[in-house]
Amino acid sequence: MRRYLRVLILCLACGFCSLLYAISQLAVSLEEGAAGGGGKPQAAVASWLAASGRGAERGAGPASGAGLLDRYNLKIQPIEKMHLAVVACGERLEETMTMLKSALIFSIKPLQFHIFAEDQLHDSFKARLDSWSFLQTFNYTIYPITFPSENAAEWKKLFKPCASQRLFLPSILKEVDSLLYVDTDILFLRPVDDIWSLLKKFNSTQIAAMAPEHEEPRIGWYNRFARHPYYGKTGVNSGVMLMNMTRMRKKYFKNDMTTVRLQWGDILMPLLKKYKLNITWGDQDLLNIMFFHNPESLFVFPCQWNYRPDHCIYGSNCREAEEEGIFILHGNRGVYHDDKQPAFRAVYEALRNCSFEDYNVHSLLKPLELELQKTVHTYCGKIYKIFIKQLTKSIRDHYDRPSKER
């Protein structure tokens, strides 16, 4: 009698699983149909929920009832997307693709890429991104570089071509609540989810987050050379900038041009007019001036979220990175492409070399460590372990994840 009961329960359980499977398949096919019909040609049709490819590769067996239940639940609750913006001009295609790859490798929530690029780069971006569409964990839109029509020429020649595009993101991406802006020479060594979660740590007056430009005032640039106001002791670096754009669009900013407060969209031009002869690093200087006058609006995150050669070329000065490893690497001054800082270049090449197709993230660590060991004659190479500390952990977590999700 007991045996029959067991068989009956087993049958019921199987039936239940099949039903869930059928429902999830139906939902997936409905979604694919909808996306195929309405999608713009340049938007990769990518649905996080249909992430069977990646899930299987990570070891989440397709026959696992619990896995399906998870996916089924995810379907009912809309998943928050993380928005990542980058501005690419000139010879930055490969570098940008490596940055985007590093974002995709470890991240958990789906990503929406906003890629601003010169027209001649659009086709290459599209081809490269479409070749990753099997990942189904991201979606992208490519935009032309645009500036406000009055004074477009002036904005274009500020600092580097296109760099000041980022100042206009809150007005261009009107529908987007929050955004992570990064330079093309950024590499994520841990999930984007982790920096994204800092948005929830903003207090009521904070609208954006950046890292200090320097940890060590003796080698700081702003405190020694700037001919304009700047945030805090050493200024801030805008290469990794997390923004709550809803708040940026709403806020009225104190400034030193008029006695009335101005909104983001109205403050930029007067600021450029007033300071254009005194600024050196273009839009980053304008951001520094803005947050000098509105310091309560900035959330400052530690240097390991924006780790640059300045943090090690004359000796290590980013304590947080020494303790926990580098979270986001920023190879500014072209160090991924010359021989000045081989430790930075080694990490870049390891990530550039690894491909999603063979999904060999594990196998990048050993050769990378060997490359890094060749750099110990440099100050940055001496502390090479901090370049792989977090990366090693991220790779481990990445492979552990399917079992944790269940």
Ligand X SMILES: *[C@@H]1O[C@H](CO)[C@@H](O)[C@H](O)[C@H]1NC(C)=O
> Which CB, 161 or 367, lies closer to ligand X?
367
At 313, give phi and psi (nearest 5°). Answer: -65, -30
> Which CB, 131 or 353, lies closer to ligand X?
353
- Tell me which of 46, 129, 248, 279 binds ligand X, using CB under 6 A: 46
Place of tokens 């619990």: 66
Tell me the C-alpha distance between 226 and 234, whole Å: 10
Tell me the C-alpha distance between 102 and 49, whole Å: 21
- Tell me which of 170, 272, 371, 391 binds ligand X, using CB under 6 A: 371
> Which CB, 14 or 370, lies closer to ligand X?
370
| Residue 92 and residue 120 in contact, taking contact as beta carbons nearer than 8 Å | no
Task: Give the pair of three-digit tokens for residue 357.
Answer: 């197709």
> Which CB, 237 or 375, lies closer to ligand X?
375
223 lies in the site for ligand X, by CB under 6 A: no
247 lies in the site for ligand X, by CB under 6 A: yes
Per-residue interface string for the shown chain with ligand X, residues 127-166, x marking contact by CB under 6 A: ------------x-x-------------------------
Strands of the 178-182 sheet, one edge to the other: 138-143, 111-117, 82-88, 178-182, 236-244, 208-212, 298-300
118 lies in the site for ligand X, by CB under 6 A: no
User: How crowded is the C-beta side of 158, counted as CA atoms within 13 Å?
Assistant: 29
> Which CB, 158 or 310, lies closer to ligand X?
158
227 lies in the site for ligand X, by CB under 6 A: yes
Helices (H), 39-92: 52-57, 65-76
Q: 60 to 99, contacts with ligand X by CB under 6 A?
A: none
Which residues are CB-neighbours of 28 under 8 A, at least 6 positions away? 47, 49, 50
| Residue 242 and residue 176 in contact, taking contact as beta carbons nearer than 8 Å | no
Candidates 52-60, 165-173, 366-374, 393-401; binding stretch for ligand X (CB under 6 A): 366-374
Candidates 52-60, 87-95, 240-248, 318-326; binding stretch for ligand X (CB under 6 A): 240-248
> Which CB, 3 or 366, lies closer to ligand X?
366
Mapped onto helix, strand or coil, the DSSP state of residue 116 is strand
Task: Give the pair of three-digit tokens for residue 63.
Answer: 């026959």
278 lies in the site for ligand X, by CB under 6 A: yes
Closest distance between ligand X and the C-beta of residue 120, in Å? 22
- Closest CA relative to residue 187, chosen from 368, 379, 374: 368
349 lies in the site for ligand X, by CB under 6 A: yes
Q: 279 to 308, contacts with ligand X by CB under 6 A?
A: 295-296
End-to-end, the C-alpha distance of the chain in Å comes to: 33
Residues that bind ligand X (CB under 6 A): 35, 39-40, 43, 46-47, 139, 141, 177-178, 199-200, 203-206, 227-228, 244, 246-247, 274-275, 278, 295-296, 346, 349-350, 353, 367-368, 371
